[in-house]
Chain A
Amino acid sequence: MSVDTATVRKVAGLARIAISDGEAEALVPELNNILGWIEQLQEVDTSSVEPMTAVIPSQLRLRDDLVTEGDIRDQVLANAPQAEHGFFAVPKVIE
C-alpha cells in the first residue's frame, strides 16, 4: 500500500496537524519509504494467532467508587494557555 498527496492531506487532517503543500509533497516519499518497509509483515502467517492485548497477563482491577481527590480546579487550570472564570477558554465554536 502506498500514499499520495491527497492521502497525506487526509491523514494530516485526521491528526489535526496543519501542513503546507510543500510539506505534503515531501511527506509522500518519506511515508512510502516507511510503509514499504513495514509491508514485510504481510508475509508472516498469523492465521492461527490472536492479536496481543497485554504483554504481561494481568486483570484489570476495580477500585471502590469513592472520590479520591478533587477541589483542585485552580491546579487543573494552572497550565492552561487561556483560562477564564474557572474554565478553559477556546475560540468561538458556534457561529
Chain B
Amino acid sequence: MTALTDLTVAELRDGFRAGDFSAREAAEAFNGAVASAKGLNAFIVETPEHALAAADAADKARAAGEAAKPLAGVPLAIKDLFCTKGVQTTAASHILGGFKPVYESTITAKLWDAGAGMLGKLNMDQFAMGSSNETSAFGNVISPWRRSDGGNAPLAPGGSSGGSSAAVAARIAPAATGTDTGGSIRQPAAFTGICGIKPTYGRCSRWGVVAFASSLDQAGPMARTVKDCAIMLEAMSGFDPKDATSLDMPVPAWEAGLSADLKGKRIGIPKEYRVDNMPAEIDALWRQGIEWVKDAGAEVVEVSLPHTKYALPAYYIIAPAEASSNLARYDGVRYGLRELPEGAGLQDMYAATRAAGFGKEVKRRILIGTYVLSAGFYDAYYNQAQKVRALIARDFDNAWEQCDLLLTPTAPSAAFALGEKSADPIAMYLNDVFTVPSSLAGLPAMSVPAGLDGQGLPLGLQVIGKAFDEQGVLNAGLALEQRAGFMRRPERWW
C-alpha cells in the first residue's frame, strides 16, 4: 500500500470515506512525518493533538453513519500568519513572541468546520516580508530540494510562504495555507515543485490574518495538485461580514467544474514578460507551456501589458506604506513583546519595543513606508504609485479584450541558495517581477510545476485570470499539469 503521506488531499478525503483507513491513521502518519523533518525547520509550532482531535471526531462521525465533511480525514499545515485560537501565532516575528490569539481566523475556522485538523504552524518570512524565508525570527526554512550537482548548498524554499512550500513538497503535509501579497504563494510553489493559487482579492477573508499590506493581502492554498487546490480553495473562500473587502458572492463548485479542455479559450502571452537576462531554460519552458495550452485546444495570442516594468517599484511604495500603517499596532501595550528600559517613558517604550521586536527587513520596509507617506512626499510617491497601479489594472482590462487568460513563467529563476541574494534587497525584490502585477490588480493567479532546470530544480508556469475567474485559472492549470506530468519529488535528506 502507498504510504499515507504520499496521498493527495483528494486521495485522503476519498480513501477515508471509502473506509480504506481511519482519519487517526492519516493524522498519525503526518504527525510522524512532521516530527521527523526538523531539518527543514518548516514548523514553528507543532500541534499533533489538534490533528488527532479532528481525526477522532471524523472517525466517530463516520462510525455513527454521519455524512463525511468536505475535508474529514485531512490534516493541514497552517502558515503562522493565521490566528489560531490558543496556539501561538507570531508571523515569525519576535514582536509577537508568545502571542496566543483568543480567536480563530475565519479561514482556519472554515477549515476546521470542514473537518480538517492542524499539524502545526508554519515558518515564514517575518510578517510575510521576503522571498526566500530568510527574514524569519525562527531561522531559515530549508528547501527539501537540492541541486543535482552533488553540492549540498541549502536552497531557499521561496517566500514568504516558505514553510508551506517546504512542508508540502517534502510530503509532511498534504496541503497548507499560504498568503500572497506580491507572489508569496506562487513563487514558493514554483521553487518547490508544487501548486498554489492566489484567488481574486476578497475571495478569502482577511479576518484573523496578521495584516501586511491590506489592499494586496490574499490567502490561498498550496498543495501538490491542481485538484487539491480547487478542493482547498472551496473550503477557504466565502463572504465574511467581518472583512470589509470580502466579496459577497457565492463560492463556485471549482472541483466539480475542473476541465482540462481549453477549446474556445484564448490565452495571452504578454510580451513585456520577456525580461532581460531571463534564463534560457525558463524561456524554453514558457514556449513549451504555449505548446501545451495549444494542445489542450486554446488559441494563443500575443498581448501587451505596457506598464509591467513599473509594477515592482509601485509595489515597493504601496506595500511598505500599508505595512508602516498596519504595523503601528505593535506598541508593547496590548500583546507581544514589551521592552521597558530603566526609567523609560511611554514613547521610549514604544521605540525600544519596536527596535527589539522587528527584524531588519521589516524595519527597512516600515521606514520606507513612513518616508513615502510623510508630509511633502505623499503625492510624489504614494499617490503616483496608486495612479500607476490604476494603469497596470487598465493594462489587464485591455488585454482581456483579446484573451481570457494569461500564461507566463512564475519566477525569473529557479530556487537560489540561502544567502545568495540576502545582501541586496532589490535583487531579492526582483524575484516577484512576474507575480506582482496581478497582485496589484487583485486578479486570480496560480503556479503549476512544469519542469526542471539543468540542476534538477523545479520551475513553474503561471496562469493569470480575470477577476472572479478562478475556474478558468484552475482549468488552464490542470491542462498544464496533465501535459507536464511533473512527478519528481525531492530525495529525502532531512
Which A residues fall within an 8 A CB radius of B? 1, 3, 7-8, 11-19, 27, 30-31, 33-35, 37-42, 44, 46, 49-56, 58, 60-61, 63, 72, 75-76, 78-82, 88, 90-93
Contacts and interface: CB of A to CB of B under 8 A. Distances in A.
Interface of B: 98-102, 200-202, 215-216, 241, 244-245, 247-248, 307, 309-310, 313-314, 316-317, 324, 328, 331-338, 340, 344-352, 354-355, 358, 363-364, 366-368, 370-371, 374, 377, 380-381, 383-391, 393, 425-426, 440-442, 467
B349 A90 contact: yes
Given A56-B467, A88-B334, A18 B351 contact: yes
Given A17-B363, A38-B317, A42-B384, 8 more contacts: A17-B354, A37-B313, A41-B314, A51-B383, A52-B390, A55-B442, A78-B102, A79-B334
A73 B438 CA distance: 41
Chain B CB count within 10 A is highest, among A17, A31, A58, A91, for A17
Nearest to A72: B102
B358 to A, nearest CB: 7
Contacts of B332: 81
Given A60-B244, A81-B333, A93 B345 contact: yes
Which are the 6 A-B pairs with shortest beta-carbon distances? A55-B442, A51-B386, A81-B338, A46-B387, A79-B335, A18-B351
A61 B390 contact: no
Contacts of B354: 15-18
Contacts of A19: 355
B316 A34 contact: yes
B306 to A, nearest CB: 10
A39 B345 CA distance: 38
B30 to A, nearest CB: 29
Nearest to A10: B374
Given A41-B310, A79-B335, A46 B367 contact: no
A3 B376 CA distance: 13
A75 B101 CA distance: 9
Nearest to B381: A38
21 contacts: A11-B370, A16-B350, A19-B355, A27-B364, A30-B425, A33-B425, A33-B426, A44-B310, A46-B391, A49-B387, A51-B383, A52-B386, A52-B387, A54-B245, A55-B215, A55-B441, A56-B467, A61-B248, A75-B102, A81-B336, A92-B345
Contact of B367 (A27, A49, A88): A27
